Amino acid sequence: MWRDHLTEIIVFTVLFLLVSAMGFVAARWRAPKDMDHLDEWGLGGRSFGGWITWFLVGGDLYTAYTFVAVPALMFGAGAAGFFAVPYTIVVYPLVFLVLCRLWSVSHRHGFVTPADFVRSRFDSPVLALLIAITGIVATMPYIALQLVGIEAVLKTMGVTGDGAVARHLPIIIAFAILAAYTYQSGLRAPALIAFVKDSLIYIVILVAVLWLPQKLGGWGGIFDAAEAKFAASPNPNDGVLLNANNQLQYVTLAFGSALALFLYPHSITGVLASRNRGVIKRNMSALPAYSLVLGLIALLGFMAIAAGVKPLPGASAGTVDSNTVVPVLFDQQFPDWFAGVAYAAIGIGALVPAAIMSIAAANLFTRNIYKEYLRRDATPAQEASVSKITSLVVKVGAVACIVFLDPQFSIDLQLIGGVIILQTLPAVALGLYTRWFHRGALVAGWAAGMGLGMWMLYQIPNPATKRAHFGGSAFPLGEFGLDTTKTIYVGIVAVLVNLAVAALVTLALRAARVAAGTDGTTPDDYFADEGDPRVTPGPTRDADAAPEPVA
């Protein structure tokens, strides 16, 4: 009953409303002369310094779903859940080499989306359209999953109702507020809120790792409890250590997730909002510090085992909602007022990435579908207006996924999303370094990788949810005729096939002398920086003005 959680509800509501007010105020923060431009509404004026970018990108990548899902995976399977820690360490050296080049060429030409870059680089509106659609499709379930995090908190506090709509009414209200201030303030809203979100998460995690072990018999007792649980598990892959069967899946999932993370449109949006290349370099060097916090978050799953946490019932009879593991742990072990703070950290942790994701998806639709195919003469103000409306539609779609679909299905969709977005790697990431791939070959590679990836995902069942298809991303190698019980991450196989097909078709098209189009970029575009006359000024910035000092 919600009355038993009244203090938690009050604390959660006050902090949530405070942050929502900040979202509306953000429209006046670093206010531009003209908000009706994608550079301002969708990229915050391309002027964010080091600290703002740190919190914005960190708040974008470490979401509410991370807060509840990683510990839930540790709670249910053990060491396999730690894949999130190494991949967030590996990713930053990789993208350090890529994102500076993307920032430079995007600022030089006024690109807002990765599909803008692909359109110019390979002179192919078809390839750009595929990149845009891929980005939107991969982002939608990611937004829906932010709602899963909020729902886990609300369920723990007993804030539920009867019926599909009534049960989700608090989430609908929360996202209506999010939609309103995102529409008004654009990227400035999540950038400002990210300060509060990260501060709350830091406080909650530090208190949890210092407070909970003392109550649960120390770290030795926590790991002993986890060891005992997994020893009794019927699944031989469960355990506090990996084994021969799941090591390949662990490595390929970590590496594939690292390759995919900064291909997501919302990740690129946060980077393009940076003021200069130096801001990106410093952030990519420092952001691995978030992985320390992520490792501590993961250990909450083992703490929940030691505390004897029982997940709340799921949406259907006989199932459990594993996403409630961390909220229930906080409810049982913390004073009510601090549990409310922790719930607010999770709830607010959903608002920041959801806002950025909806903005990124809206920018893709506006620049690469609406302007390219529906209205080529659209003015900057019209672009901004369409993007604002599209961001609302995206949020409504995300809410619909939660209201009308089993939330577990949304989680499976997100796993599929990683496989989908990986198929943009040859055109976007490799395209920043080479134009050797033929534009037609990149389309063929995308089709081959996407087709194989969807076929492999279709073959994977989920015994826990009794779903015969699309039940995860771990593909059994035995399906390829190999005598083994090992599994591999679908995304890695699909993107390797994508690259192989793109290379072979490129050789064939070049041999046939098929036109490859005109490169709209020049080599020096990839090294332009703030203050360089080659960088296209934003809508409210003076091209002759001296650059602001870097934060």
Closest among 59, 337, 395 to 48, alpha carbons compared: 59
Who contacts 53 (Cβ-Cβ below 8 Å, separation ≥6)? 270, 271, 273, 274, 275, 279, 280, 283
The reported pLDDT for the residue numbered 484 is 83
pLDDT for 547 equals 39
CA distance 289 to 282: 12
pLDDT at res. 124:
95
For 43, 264, 316, the CA distances from 183, given in Å and listed in that order, are 13, 21, 35
- Phi, psi for 78 (deg, rounded to 5): 90, -135
How far apart CA 456 and CA 133 sit, in angstroms, is 21
Helical pair 380-404 and 407-422, crossing angle rounded to 10 deg: 140
* Domain 2-22+36-411: assigned CATH number: 1.20.1730.10
Q: Which pLDDT value is given to residue 198? A: 85
Q: Which residues make beta-bridge pairs with 235? A: none
How high is the pLDDT of residue 292? 84
Cα–Cα distance list, 150 to 44, 56, 129, 189 (Å): 26, 20, 33, 19
Determine the pLDDT at residue 233. 86
Phi, psi (deg, nearest 5) at residue 280: -65, -45
Q: What is the pLDDT of residues 193-204, one digit of tens each?
A: 988 888 888 899
Tell me, what amino acid is at 199?
S
Q: Can you read off the two tokens belonging to residue 374? A: 């529906």
Model pLDDT, residue 406: 63
Look up residue 241 and give its two tokens. Answer: 């250590």
| pLDDT at residue 357 in the model | 92
Segments making up each domain of the chain, as ranges: 2-22+36-411
Task: Give the contacts of 174 (CB within 8 A, at least 6 positions apart).
Answer: 16, 150, 347, 351
Residue 289 C-alpha from the chain's centroid: 18
DSSP conformation class of 368: I
pLDDT tens sequence across 465-502 = 677 778 788 898 888 887 788 889 999 999 999 999 99
Distance CA 534, CA 110 (A): 11
Nearest Cα residue to 239 out of 77, 70, 71: 77
Select from 403, 391, 405 the least CA-distant residue to 359. 391
Cβ(145)–Cβ(411) under 8 Å? yes
What pLDDT is attached to residue 489? 93
Q: Which residues of the chain have pLDDT under 50?
A: 540-551
**Largest distance between two CA atoms of the chain:** 73
Indicate the DSSP class of residue 525.
Answer: G
What is the tens place of the pLDDT at every residue in 436-475?
999 999 999 999 999 999 999 988 887 766 777 787 888 9
pTM for the whole structure: 0.90
Provide long-range contacts, Cβ within 8 A and 24+ apart, for 509-516.
Answer: 509/438, 509/440, 509/441, 510/438, 514/438, 514/440, 516/122, 516/123, 516/435, 516/438, 516/439
Q: pLDDT per residue over 115-167, tens digit each?
A: 999 999 999 999 999 999 999 999 887 887 888 888 888 888 888 765 555 56
Q: Which pLDDT score is estimated for 410? A: 55
Residue 32 in 3-state DSSP?
coil
